[in-house]
């Protein structure tokens, strides 16, 4: 059996990549995808712990998360489209009208 | 003297009548505005008449009202109004001055309905502060006074009114928050049987068990809260600004009644509840008071604005009040209360006349005035009367306050073998005479000024003269027969002696 | 039967003040007649009360009669009263004060004739002034006395500043009057503050301020002597301020800015006499310690001398008289000091003879007070008559007025003779007794000091005769000055009649010493063993042999005659040139005298530095440091908010970075805490 550390390390790497993307990328689509990466990193943790403890609750949560994530992506893309219509920009830096 | 009937709910009436008046007046906008002053004068007049029932009452303790207000498992706040020798003079002063100020400013042209409503609203708060016997009610009323005054300054004030109003509000509000912490501290510490009861009576019972460390600490908190209101150097700087910008009526109430809330609080809360704290803080209070007296007096000399000068003189005189309290002797507290009353009457005259300077001459800058006694003799006479009363001319009310306090301080300094301390008080008497006479010399006497238009000056009109004559008459009356006021006060101070608060 | 109505004596002028103040302009002369009537009633009452007091044996045993009501009480067993206390001193003071004030009021009808509506103010204020003096004379305790004392201060302020606006001579004169009034009030206030401190000391020590309770042997013995000394010195501080003694003597010459009648009132009947009265009143206290009285004598002697020097070269007729007042007041204090010194020594040593000898000084001082009241009122009113007629106060512009104003000139001559101490005029008797008692005091310790004081007194007598006759000759003799050409001639009757009445007293009042004055006004132990006024034994005609059998008397007379001769040669015959002595006004001494020994500059400097200088500093601290701190805190809050709001860049990426960074830091902190607590 693969030890749990491998799963955790993998999830952590995935999360770090996602976080890095959110923090550095200017393109909104990529930012959204990176958010998905971080979500899935959490899902992996859930599944891994669920398998190791033999508790199905973790897998239930994963299904739940995937559902919510799908809805979230739909809303996110809709916001993006509207923002693009208004500002003619897909860059995050262009959407800074809430500053001081 | 007279057998006046006992009026039920008298104390509540004193609070509620001005409130009703304020609400009615507030809605007298537009074409009804010219009747606002009559409503205000009537309501405050009735309030004033009702206070005479208190003044002539044989037994003040019958007038006390006690209703539970908020009562939950661990908390009890009540609506308690009561009156004693300390508060009765303040209540009288409030009612009198609100009435006179209403008459005095009956020529208010700009938004008279708001103006008079604010005056009456202030009376509500002030009456509440001086009569409440529950710390929570006391605190609420304390804050209630703040709001009308804020609007008074920021709507009807001078050119820098917004700055002054905000400064006044925030400064005194911060101080009252500190005071609130102190109030919570004493109420919680005194709580018996798991119920935090905010009433004076309940706290007084619990107070006997306060440790002296607790008393010293909480005394500091409360003292700070009250000292800002008095105001005591170095927490005084809101006062000159507020006074300079406030309209005359506002300045009169601010100086004559609102400042007394500070010293009232010190006596009512700090001394009554925390006597050990008072003893620990006594040397500090004495030093602060002396600094305030001299600092205020010296600052007066340098002022060019008449109203600002009078504002600093208030600081000096309130320092004198604090000195009387700080002596922690019966004479000292008695005459501190007397001086509070006296100063209320005297500053009313001072601020009325100095505020009028703006109406009559369009300026209050002393260097721009001069030789005006020949042009406006009645105005000059009132101003001189006010100045003479304030510098402590014997035979007028201010003298007795200073006389008693300096005597008490002499006793105190004698007891600690430092009689020379009294020199500072005496010096302040000199300085006070100095700045008033100098101001009079420059503004009323000498060459008629050519810096302002003096061809068509009006002298004071009838309603202004009416208000001034009444206050001046009272100044002379209480000056010749101080026992009229001392009678009430000594009842209270002797109860302090029984409590062991003062010697 | 009249004594019960003593309280009316100050109350009647007070009523006049109120009536004149409110209704004056509706009555003829702006209420002048009301004021005169009030003063006249007060005078009559004073005479009746005094007669009853002096004739009734019931009072003479105790030496006083007092009655009072409780005013209010201070906690701690201090009861303050309001009432009257009549003894010989009070009788004497109220007699001369009310009588002279009445004459001055009559005179004012003429002198203030052109003042129009302002007459109401004038007559109201002078009535209040008289209330102050009469109330002071009859008060039964120190506190009541202090109130009337301050009322007089207020009145002097108001009256010296009578022309502080719309002065007939223009704006500069108005400014001058306003400044002089302020100075008078402030300088006397300095004294009053001392006096108030003295009251505290005494009230605390004695538990009472009533004369009748304080001036008893038991009360004095029961109190810590140091407290009595402190209280006495502080009270004397008040006296120095009110009576314009050295070093607070500078306000009185400036006070000449007021109307001449006011000067007469201040110098003759009220105000400055209050100081002498109070010193005499406090004798039972002062005599508890001899060196207090030594100070009184020194201050009196020094003032007498200094003030006389400043009068020598002054060209202003009123200022010469003002300095002469200071100088004569100095004499009174010298007499009281010297006499009291002997009494104090006598009490210490139990020496009855010394007390009797000291009592002579006391009598002399008070006799001089009364004499001075009359001749100084006369001189001031005379000078007022001259000023009224010439329209100037400068003596160089007068001259030769003797022919045009005969009555004024003769009455002024009588006044000058009296103040100079010319034999048999009023001033002679009292001044001679003063000089004699100073000489006498030198026999008992402090010999050098009293000899110096005696010498000063003699020199002052010489100078007094010189400057008074210089004034008289410059005004009434010699060549007619600029303003003397077009005078109105003699003044109206209302002014001349008071002059004549006063001149009778100024000439003959001194003889009272031969007819039992010293019997009434002397100090000694009464039946109860307390020091009281009016229990001595009169010497009567013995005084004549005593005075004229004394070589020093003749010496003084010769000096006075010499001074008068020099003044005659210099200013009337003009055979002696005064310029020879002062290098035509160039000498340094002359300069010093013109600069009034630099006293005014000294005061201005002190007031400016200690008052305005410090005030500017305080104002700076207030505006910049204290208010600066408050505004600084508020600015820091606002500014801090501004700076922090800059963090809201609107940049999503930086927000996320902060969020992640925050989570990491937070996580690390939690870990650290767990590790520190040993939980990990």
pLDDT of residue B75: 86
Determine, yes or no, domain membership for B324.
yes
pLDDT of residue C366 exceeding 60, the answer is yes
pLDDT of residue B140: 92
What rounded mean pLDDT belongs to chain C? 85
* Tens of pLDDT, residues B47-102: 999 998 888 887 887 888 888 888 887 888 899 999 988 899 999 999 999 999 99
Nearest to C646 among A23, A92, A100 (CB): A100
Q: How far apart are CA C303 and CA C319, in angstroms?
A: 16
Instruction: Find, in chain A, the residue whose alpha carbon is nearest to that of C649.
Output: A99
Q: Is B193 exposed, middle or buried (0-12, 13-18, 19+ CB in 10 A)?
A: exposed
pLDDT of residue C120: 87
For tokens 């100084």, the residue is C376
* Tens of pLDDT, residues C405-454: 888 888 989 999 999 888 888 888 888 888 888 888 888 877 888 899 99
Q: Which residues contact C567 (CB under 8 A, 6 or more apart)?
A: C465, C466, C467, C468, C469, C470, C472, C473
pLDDT of residue B9: 86
For tokens 């400013």, the residue is B105
Query: Which helix (H) or strand (E) is C85 found in, with range?
Result: strand C78-86
Picking from C290, C429, C275, the residue whose alpha carbon sits closest to that of residue C355 is: C290
pLDDT of residue C530 exceeding 60, the answer is yes
Q: Which residues pair with B67 in a beta bridge?
A: B79
E strands, B119-214, are 196-197
Q: How far apart are CA B153 and CA B251, in angstroms?
A: 9
pLDDT of residue A99 exceeding 90, the answer is no
pLDDT of residue C121: 86
**DSSP 8-state assignment for residue C611:** I
Q: Which residues pair with C531 in a beta bridge?
A: C525
- DSSP-assigned letters across all residues of B435-493: HHHHHHHHHTSSSPPSSS--TT-----HHHHHHHHHHHHHHHHHHH-THHHHHHHHHHH
pLDDT of residue B1 exceeding 60, the answer is no
Number of alpha helices (DSSP H) and beta strands (DSSP E) in chain B: 20, 3
Name chain A contacts of C667, Cβ cutoff 8 Å.
Answer: none
B370-384, B435-449, C54-68, C232-246 — which is least confidently predicted?
C54-68
Nearest to C653 among A92, A98, A99 (CB): A92
Instruction: Find, in chain B, the residue whose alpha carbon is nearest to that of C80.
Output: B483
pLDDT of residue C525 exceeding 60, the answer is yes
Q: Is B2 exposed, middle or buried (0-12, 13-18, 19+ CB in 10 A)?
A: exposed
Determine, yes or no, domain membership for B455.
yes
Domain ranges of chain C: 287-594, 601-676
Instruction: Find, in chain A, the residue whose alpha carbon is nearest to that of C642.
Output: A100
Preferred mutation among C618, C632, C634 to probe B, highest tally of B CBs within 10 A: C618
pLDDT of residue C627: 87
Q: Which phi and psi angles does C575 have, rounded to 5°?
A: -85, -15
Determine, yes or no, domain membership for B143.
no
* Tens of pLDDT, residues B312-321: 999 999 999 9
Q: How many CB pairs under 8 A join A and C?
A: 34
Residue B81 — left, alpha, or beta (φ > 0 → left; ψ -120 to 50 → alpha)? Answer: beta
How many CB atoms are closer than 10 A to CB C322?
27
Q: How many residues does chain C have?
A: 680
**DSSP 8-state assignment for residue A91:** B
Q: How far apart are CA C410 and CA C42, in angstroms?
A: 30
Number of domains in chain B: 1
Of the pLDDT bands very low, low, confident and very high (cuts 50, 70, 90), residue C80 is confident
pLDDT of residue B159: 87
Of the pLDDT bands very low, low, confident and very high (cuts 50, 70, 90), residue C146 is very high
Q: How far apart are CA C321 and CA C375, in angstroms?
A: 11
Name chain A contacts of C653, Cβ cutoff 8 Å.
Answer: 22-26, 92-93
Q: Read off the pLDDT of each residue in B178-189 and give the average, rounded to a whole number.
A: 91
Sign of CA dihedral C127, C133, C135, C138: negative
Could you check whether the bond before residue B346 is cis, i.e. omega within 30 degrees of 0? Answer: no
Name chain C contacts of A23, Cβ cutoff 8 Å.
Answer: 653, 656-657, 660
For chain C, the 3-state helix, strand and coil shares in percent, each to the nearest 5, are 75, 5, 20
Q: Are the CB atoms for C228 and C290 separated by under 8 Å?
A: no
Q: Read off the pLDDT of each residue in C202-231 and give the average, rounded to a whole number.
A: 88
How many CB atoms are closer than 10 A to CB C537?
12
Q: Read off the pLDDT of each residue in B250-263 and give the average, rounded to a whole number.
A: 92
Name chain A contacts of C660, Cβ cutoff 8 Å.
Answer: 19, 23
Determine, yes or no, domain membership for B152.
no
Of the pLDDT bands very low, low, confident and very high (cuts 50, 70, 90), residue B2 is low
Q: How far apart are CA B146 and CA B152, in angstroms?
A: 10
Picking from C307, C205, C313, C309, the residue whose alpha carbon sits closest to that of residue C253 is: C307
Whether A95 contacts chain C with CB within 8 A: yes
Q: Are the CB atoms for A64 and C624 separated by under 8 Å?
A: no
Picking from B403, B256, B399, the residue whose alpha carbon sits closest to that of residue B340 is: B256
A9-23, B154-168, B276-290, C513-527 — which is least confidently predicted?
C513-527
Sign of CA dihedral C492, C497, C500, C503: negative
Picking from B311, B290, B251, the residue whose alpha carbon sits closest to that of residue B422 is: B290
**DSSP 8-state assignment for residue C491:** P
Alpha carbon C197 to its chain's center: 18
**Residue B386 domain boundaries:** 285-503
pLDDT of residue B478: 92
* Tens of pLDDT, residues C106-140: 988 888 887 777 888 888 899 999 999 999 999 99
Of the pLDDT bands very low, low, confident and very high (cuts 50, 70, 90), residue C479 is confident
Name chain A contacts of C651, Cβ cutoff 8 Å.
Answer: 92-93, 96, 99
CA atoms within 13 A on the CB side of C52: 13
Query: Which 3 state secondary structure label does DSSP give C539?
Result: coil
Determine, yes or no, domain membership for B266.
no
Picking from C133, C245, C137, the residue whose alpha carbon sits closest to that of residue C188 is: C245
Q: What is the 3-state secondary structure (H, E, C) of B240-290?
A: HHHHHHCCHHHHHHHHHHHHHHHHHHHHHHHHHHCHHHHHHHHHHHHHHHH
Whether B167 contacts chain C with CB within 8 A: yes
Long-range contacts of B482-489 (CB under 8 A, 24+ apart): B482/B338, B482/B397, B482/B400, B482/C71, B482/C72, B483/C71, B483/C72, B485/B89, B485/B338, B485/B341, B486/B334, B486/B338, B486/C72, B488/B85, B488/B88, B488/B89, B489/B85, B489/B86, B489/B89, B489/B334, B489/B337, B489/B338
Query: Which 3 state secondary structure label does DSSP give C83?
Result: strand
Q: How far apart are CA C36 and CA B246, in angstroms?
A: 48
Nearest to C651 among A25, A31, A93 (CB): A93
What rounded mean pLDDT belongs to chain B? 89
**Min CA distance, C660 vs chain A (Å)?**
8
Nearest to C150 among B233, B298, B394 (CB): B394
Q: Do B430 and C189 touch (CB under 8 A)?
A: yes
Instruction: Count Cβ neighbours within 10 Å for each residue of A30-46 and write b for 16 or more, e otherwise.
Output: ebbebbbbbbbbbbbbb
E strands, B127-207, are 196-197
- Are chains C and A touching, using the cut-off of 8 Å on CB pairs and a minimum of 3 such pairs? yes
Of the pLDDT bands very low, low, confident and very high (cuts 50, 70, 90), residue B131 is very high
Strands B196-197 and C65-74: unpaired
Q: Which residues pair with C663 in a beta bridge?
A: none
Q: How far apart are CA C73 and CA C83, in angstroms?
A: 15
Q: How far apart are CA B96 and CA B84, in angstroms?
A: 18
pLDDT of residue C284: 87
Q: Read off the pLDDT of each residue in C313-338 and give the average, rounded to a whole number.
A: 89
Whether C650 contacts chain A with CB within 8 A: yes
Q: How far apart are CA C675 and CA A26, in angstroms?
A: 39
Query: What token pair was written down for C570?
Result: 């210099």
CATH class of A4-89: mainly alpha
Q: Read off the pLDDT of each residue in C459-478 and give the average, rounded to a whole number.
A: 87
Long-range contacts of A4-12 (CB under 8 A, 24+ apart): A4/A48, A4/A49, A4/A52, A7/A44, A7/A45, A7/A48, A8/A45, A8/A48, A10/A44, A11/A41, A11/A42, A11/A44, A11/A45, A11/A48, A12/A41
Whether B434 contacts chain C with CB within 8 A: yes
Preferred mutation among B288, B304, B371, B493 to probe C, highest tally of C CBs within 10 A: B371
Of the pLDDT bands very low, low, confident and very high (cuts 50, 70, 90), residue A27 is confident
Domain ranges of chain A: 4-89
Query: Which 3 state secondary structure label does DSSP give C421?
Result: coil
Q: Which residues contact C554 (CB under 8 A, 6 or more apart)?
A: C548
Q: Which residues pair with B81 in a beta bridge?
A: B65, B132
Interface of B with C in 316-335 (CB under 8 A): 329-331, 334
Name chain C contacts of A24, Cβ cutoff 8 Å.
Answer: 653
R_g over Cα of chain A: 17
Q: Are the CB atoms for C61 and C526 separated by under 8 Å?
A: yes
A1-5, A90-94, B19-23, C68-72 — which is least confidently predicted?
A90-94
Q: Which residues contact B385 (CB under 8 A, 6 or more apart)?
A: B349, B472, B475
pLDDT of residue B3: 67
Longest dimension (CA), chain B: 74
pLDDT of residue B47: 93
Q: Do C611 and B434 touch (CB under 8 A)?
A: yes
Query: What token pair was written down for C185?
Result: 């009030």
Determine, yes or no, domain membership for B296.
yes
């Amino acid at each position: 059996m693969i030890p749990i550390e491998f799963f955790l390390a993998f999830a952590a790497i995935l999360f770090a990549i996602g976080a890095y993307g959110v923090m550095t990328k200017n393109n909104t689509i990529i930012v959204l995808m990176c958010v998905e990466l971080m979500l899935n990193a959490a899902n992996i943790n859930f599944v891994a712990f669920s398998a190791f403890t033999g508790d199905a609750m973790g897998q239930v949560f994963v299904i739940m998360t995937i559902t919510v994530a799908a809805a979230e992506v739909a809303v996110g893309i809709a916001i993006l489209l509207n923002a693009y219509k208004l500002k003619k920009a897909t860059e995050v830096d262009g959407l800074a009208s809430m500053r001081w | 003297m007279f057998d006046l009937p006992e009026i039920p709910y008298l104390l509540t009436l004193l609070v509620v009548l001005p409130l009703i008046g304020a609400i009615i007046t507030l809605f007298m906008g537009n074409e009804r505005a010219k009747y606002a002053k009559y409503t205000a004068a009537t309501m405050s007049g009735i309030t004033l008449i009702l206070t005479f029932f208190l003044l002539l009452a044989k037994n003040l303790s019958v007038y006390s009202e006690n209703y539970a207000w908020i009562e939950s498992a661990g908390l009890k706040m009540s609506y308690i109004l009561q009156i004693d020798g300390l508060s009765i003079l303040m209540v009288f002063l409030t009612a009198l001055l609100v009435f006179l100020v209403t008459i005095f400013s009956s020529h208010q042209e700009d938004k008279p309905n708001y103006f008079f409503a604010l005056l009456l609203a202030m009376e509500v708060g002030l009456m509440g502060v001086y009569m409440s016997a529950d710390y929570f009610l006391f605190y609420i009323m304390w804050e209630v006074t703040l709001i009308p005054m804020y609007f008074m300054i920021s709507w009807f004030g001078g050119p820098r009114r917004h700055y002054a109003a905000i400064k006044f509000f925030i400064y005194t509000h911060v101080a009252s928050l500190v005071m609130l912490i102190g109030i919570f501290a004493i109420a919680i510490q005194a709580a018996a049987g798991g119920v935090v009861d905010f009433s004076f009576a309940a706290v007084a019972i619990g107070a006997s068990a306060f440790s002296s460390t607790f008393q010293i600490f909480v005394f500091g908190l409360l003292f700070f809260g009250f000292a800002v209101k008095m105001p005591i150097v170095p927490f005084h700087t809101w006062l000159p600004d507020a006074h300079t910008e406030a309209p005359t009526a506002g300045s009169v109430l601010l100086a004559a009644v609102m400042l007394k809330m500070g010293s009232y609080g010190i006596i009512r809360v700090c001394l009554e509840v925390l006597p050990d704290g008072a003893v620990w803080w006594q040397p500090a209070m004495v030093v602060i008071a002396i600094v305030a007296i001299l600092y205020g007096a010296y600052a007066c000399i340098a002022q060019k604005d008449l109203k600002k000068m009078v504002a600093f003189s208030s600081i000096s005189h309130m320092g004198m009040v604090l000195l009387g309290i700080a002596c922690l002797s019966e004479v000292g507290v008695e005459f501190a209360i007397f001086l509070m009353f006296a100063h209320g009457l005297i500053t009313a005259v001072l601020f009325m006349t100095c505020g009028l300077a703006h109406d009559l001459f369009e300026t209050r800058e002393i260097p721009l005035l001069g030789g005006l006694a020949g042009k406006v003799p009645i105005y000059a006479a009132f101003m001189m009367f006010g100045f003479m009363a304030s510098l402590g001319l014997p035979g007028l009310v201010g003298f007795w306050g200073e006389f008693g306090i300096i005597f008490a301080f002499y006793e105190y300094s004698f007891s600690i073998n430092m009689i020379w301390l009294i020199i500072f008080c005496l010096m302040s008497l000199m300085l006070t005479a100095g700045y008033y006479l100098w101001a009079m010399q420059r503004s009323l006497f000498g060459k008629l000024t050519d810096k302002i238009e003096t061809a068509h000056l009006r002298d004071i009109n009838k309603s202004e003269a009416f208000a001034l004559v009444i206050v001046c008459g009272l100044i002379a009356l209480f000056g010749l027969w101080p026992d009229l006021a001392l009678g009430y006060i000594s009842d209270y101070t002797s109860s302090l002696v029984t409590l062991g608060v003062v010697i | 039967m009249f004594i019960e109505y003593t309280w009316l004596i100050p109350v009647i002028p007070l009523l006049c003040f109120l009536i004149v103040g409110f209704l004056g302009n509706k009555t003829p002369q702006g209420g002048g007649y009301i004021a005169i009537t009030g003063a006249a009633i007060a005078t009559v009452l004073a005479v009746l009360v005094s007669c009853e007091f002096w004739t009734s044996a019931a009072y003479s045993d105790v030496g006083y009669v007092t009655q009072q009501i409780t005013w209010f009480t201070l906690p701690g067993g201090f009861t303050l009263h309001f009432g009257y206390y009549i003894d010989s001193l009070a009788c004497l003071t109220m007699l001369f004060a009310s009588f002279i004030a009445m004459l001055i009021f009559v005179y004012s009808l003429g002198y203030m004739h052109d003042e129009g509506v302002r007459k109401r103010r004038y007559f109201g204020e002078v009535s209040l002034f008289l209330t102050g003096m009469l109330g002071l004379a009859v008060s039964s305790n120190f506190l009541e006395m202090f109130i009337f004392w301050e009322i007089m201060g207020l009145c002097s302020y108001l009256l010296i500043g009578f022309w502080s606006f719309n002065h007939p001579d223009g704006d500069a004169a108005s400014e001058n009057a306003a400044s002089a009034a302020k100075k008078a009030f402030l300088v006397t206030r300095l004294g009053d503050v001392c006096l108030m401190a003295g009251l505290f000391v005494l009230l605390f020590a004695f538990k009472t301020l009533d004369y009748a309770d304080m001036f008893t042997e038991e009360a004095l013995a029961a109190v810590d002597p140091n407290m009595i000394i402190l209280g006495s010195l502080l009270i004397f501080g008040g006296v120095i301020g009110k009576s314009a003694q050295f070093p607070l003597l500078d306000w009185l010459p400036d006070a000449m800015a007021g109307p001449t009648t006011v000067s007469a009132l201040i110098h003759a009947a009220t105000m400055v006499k209050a100081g002498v009265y109070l010193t005499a009143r406090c004798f039972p206290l002062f005599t508890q310690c001899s060196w207090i009285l030594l100070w009184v004598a020194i201050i009196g002697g020094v003032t007498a001398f200094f003030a006389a020097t400043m009068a020598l070269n002054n060209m202003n007729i009123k200022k010469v008289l003002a300095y002469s007042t200071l100088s004569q007041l100095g004499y009174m204090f010298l007499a009281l000091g010297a006499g009291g010194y002997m009494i104090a020594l006598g009490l210490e040593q139990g020496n009855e003879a010394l007390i009797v000898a000291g009592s002579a000084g006391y009598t002399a001082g008070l006799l001089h007070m009364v004499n001075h009241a009359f001749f100084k009122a006369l001189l001031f009113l005379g000078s007022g008559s001259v000023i009224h007629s010439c329209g100037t106060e400068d003596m160089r512009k007068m001259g030769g007025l003797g022919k045009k104003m005969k009555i004024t000139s003769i009455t002024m001559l009588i006044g000058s003779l009296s103040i100079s101490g010319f034999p048999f005029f009023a001033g002679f008797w009292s001044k001679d007794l003063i000089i004699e008692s100073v000489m006498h005091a030198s026999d008992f310790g402090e010999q050098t000091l009293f000899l110096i004081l005696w010498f000063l007194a003699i020199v002052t007598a010489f100078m007094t005769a010189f400057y008074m006759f210089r004034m008289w000759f410059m005004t009434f003799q010699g060549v007619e000055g600029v303003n003397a050409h077009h005078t109105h001639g003699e003044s109206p009757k209302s002014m001349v009649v008071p002059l004549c009445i006063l001149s009778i007293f100024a000439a003959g009042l001194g003889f009272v010493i031969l007819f039992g004055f010293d019997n009434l006004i002397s100090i000694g132990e009464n039946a109860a063993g307390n020091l009281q006024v009016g229990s001595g034994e009169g010497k009567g005609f013995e005084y004549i042999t005593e005075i004229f059998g004394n070589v020093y008397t003749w010496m003084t007379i010769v000096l006075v005659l010499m001074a008068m001769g020099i003044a005659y040669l210099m200013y009337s015959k003009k055979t002696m040139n005064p310029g020879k002595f002062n290098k035509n006004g160039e000498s340094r001494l002359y300069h010093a005298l013109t600069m009034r020994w630099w006293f005014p500059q000294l005061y201005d400097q002190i007031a400016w530095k200690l008052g305005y200088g410090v005030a500017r500093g305080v104002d700076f601290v207030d505006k910049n440091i204290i208010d600066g701190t408050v505004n600084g805190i508020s600015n820091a809050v606002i500014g801090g908010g501004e700076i922090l709001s800059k963090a809201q860049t609107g940049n999503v990426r930086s927000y996320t970075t902060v969020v992640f960074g925050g989570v990491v830091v937070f996580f690390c902190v939690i870990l650290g805490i767990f590790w520190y607590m040993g939980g990990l």
